[in-house]
Chain A
Amino acid sequence: MWHRDSDRYRMFTRRAIMLGAGQGVLLTGLAARMYYLQVMERDRYATLADDNRISHRLLPPPRGIVTDRFGAPLAINRQNYHILIVREQSPDVRKTLTILSQVIEIAPETIDRVEEDVKRRRSFVPVTVRDNLTWDEVARVGVNAPDLPGIIIDAGRSRDYPEGPHLAHTLGYVAAVAEKDLTGDPLLELPGFRIGKSGIEKTYDMSLRGRAGTSQVEVNALGRVIRELDREEGESGETVVLTLDIELQRYANQRLSEYESAAAVVMDVYNGDVLAMSSHPTYDPNSFTNGISHKLWDSLINNEYAPLSNKAVNGTYAPGSTFKTCVALAALEAGVITPEQRFFCPGHLDLGNARFHCWKRGGHGWVNLHDSLKHSCDVYYYEVSQKLGIDKIAAMAKRMGLGDPTGIDLPSERGGLMPTREWKETQLGKRWQGGETLICSIGQGYVLATPLQLATMTARLASGRAVTPHLTRDHVAPDDITARSDTEFPDLGIPRQHLNYVRDGMNGVTNELRGTAYRSRIKIKGLEMAGKTGTSQVRRISMHERQTGVLKNEELPWKYRDHALFIAFAPVENPRYACAVVVEHGGSGSGVAAPIARDLLTRAQELKSSRPGVSAVNIQSASQILRTSSKKQES
């Protein structure tokens, strides 16, 4: 029987060797695969493993600060304490929050919201409970820390505008990044990152943002940070120094706040520095930093006086009689008048079937250039404009800075309107009418200008140069900002003599008896101003009303009252400052706008934009506003 078993044994041995060989091949295959993965493909997998474990986190840079020309802080970063809760460190989130609500004020809705948030996130992710804690609250939470497991106090930075409403329109504000702002820059996707949404904050957003730092951290599969591997600090944003003088700015705001809605600009006639730019009513930009409430937003949006609009650059108004300065310059240049040439004003001028009235019912009698400005005679300009034609008036107005945006460093500046024959034909498809030239010659009709354009026009009138306004100066070292700019603007090419005739007329307005703004003259010797009133109608006065007696402004609803305007420069000899004031529906230019301009120019000259001794040190301290306060205590 055993011979048979030996058959089985031989068969078994043969097949066992085959099987063993097969298994050997398979095991070798495993070794080969291992070699492939761990030697040949090692680099690829090593990179993938690092991608898994290393996460790059952006460190948001501190936003650059904004100061006025003397270094006074206008936009800074304030320490902002907030409270966070980490679920995995808090055995009972609800209980902890309840205890917390006894220590500091926490709304019951907040507790529900946090509980929801905490459930949705991973257990180690902190959830914000409350923002903007006062120092007192931080201290109270700190003292009670043992009873508040999982509660963390974190210090962040939030934008702060120490001047509040005083500079809302110029500075603008920062707010959370909206969908449309995303450019692919990962910095913008950081939660809590703020970008400039309007004003200087928007124009110089890129410089103010700075450069983000990065932190390399090791994370596990759930995203929990295990440790920091490497850290590269970012750079804080640049300091932006404005040409504004906060003292003058505050004063302008205060002065305008006496009216419903108004705007004013004060600028340097030589270098274009805007020293004050005020728009009333205003708002507090700080309320935007941490998200504005619906109620407040609605009240701002629906306010009749448009507090969100910067009327100095976005409000366009018929310039009224202030425009006569341009018409006079155009007429002198075209040679259609001489300064001494007189026109007779009977109180109206008839053209075809239409009758054009002078503001003075009885008329001014015989009027020359000087008197036409001093008394603001309308008929004089009706006569002159008929000889000139609209296109020559428009050409001069454009040279004086009207009709196009001035190019100031603010977003969404409006350009106003300076009509020409061509403009009317292409835009409205109608022929220009002779009567329209008459209307335009007194700054009514189609002509529209912003207060900033009017200030620019005045500065050009005063300096004879093509001055453009700006809020910051490029390539100026901070400690040089107070020095007068050496880069002079090009000459306008208007003969000095012509400018002097108009300036002389403006001097008559304020400094000669019976000038339209004589009562608002600056009486301080050496600081006198020269100006031009403007009262622009916003409604049509019917023939019937003219016969029964034109209604006084006070008798009309606010919306239908005249705009009060005034432009001026000072001092009369060797001018330095230009000013434009518009009071919406304020009444007459002489009665309402001129006194404001008088006060602003007086104040500007008293303050002196180049007063010494404040520059460099202050700017530096402002850029480190948080640190300096502690340093002062030390020293």
Chain B
Amino acid sequence: MVIEVKNLVKRYGNLVALDHLNLEVREGEVFGLLGPNGSGKTTAINCILSLLTFDKGEIKVFGKPMSPDAYDVKRDIGVVTQNVAVFEELTVRENIDYFCSLYVPDKAKRRACVQEAIEFVALSDFQKFYPKKLSGGLLRRLNIACGIAHKPRLIILDEPTVAVDPQSRNNILEGILRLNEAGATVVYTSHYMEEVERLCSRIMILDHGSPIATGTKEELKAMIKSGETISIEILHAPDGLVKEVEGLKHIVSAEMRGDMMEVKSTRGTSNLSAILDFLKGKGIAFGKIYAEPPTLNDVFLEITGKQMRD
């Protein structure tokens, strides 16, 4: 086990930030911590990194208790912080070289690591730039390079794509998958469920400091009764149509959004055809049709009764 957290309790005064959190991260996996802002993701990471004190619990990394002076453990960890953590006074290359030097004292080895990290995040053209001259996306890539240049076995990324444009986000996510393919265990925190769904082999959903569900994305989706979300374009919906559709078998809810009717159904194979047959039987014309499988937001919504981005 790469990370083991048992019964972790962290309080800020009267606020319980982490409430008996149990967490296990296995070697080679991409583990996702998903939850809305303030759910305790960053607090959990900072406790694991021994930056924060906690009230109760036990934390082991690579099988050893974690503490501020557990230098042998820290050697194998790479951290990409939520805030961009670089020196404004150093260039891109100098920043990566400095943080790498705190892990890799050998100059020749370090030079190779730095070069590899620069190429990995595609910052070769910007290595003499100072951070203030970089765009938000490039800055995030520099932040990642500073955290991974020393080739750690465990990489912890705390919301690394906040305020990043879609193209840079895509590059970052692809990079994380490549790091994992190269053998690194990854812990990834985010409140973007699409990212977590795309990257993570196992996911823990946090809310108010407590884990509300853990498993693969398939396991998580299997926990809820909602199946697919079917959207049908109906230009002239008669009154009472939504009520009638909601009354159909296996239908959980239905609502009109403009010309689109959104229908949530329970898991099953013939829900779409059943709805279409119903509409045809009523003589109601329909246009475009979309069917989406359940998302992690549906999981969060069904368990907590609120949207992930509330």
Q: Do A and B come from one complex?
A: no
Using a CB–CB cutoff of 8 Å, the interface residues on chain A facing chain B are none
Using a CB–CB cutoff of 8 Å, the interface residues on chain B facing chain A are none
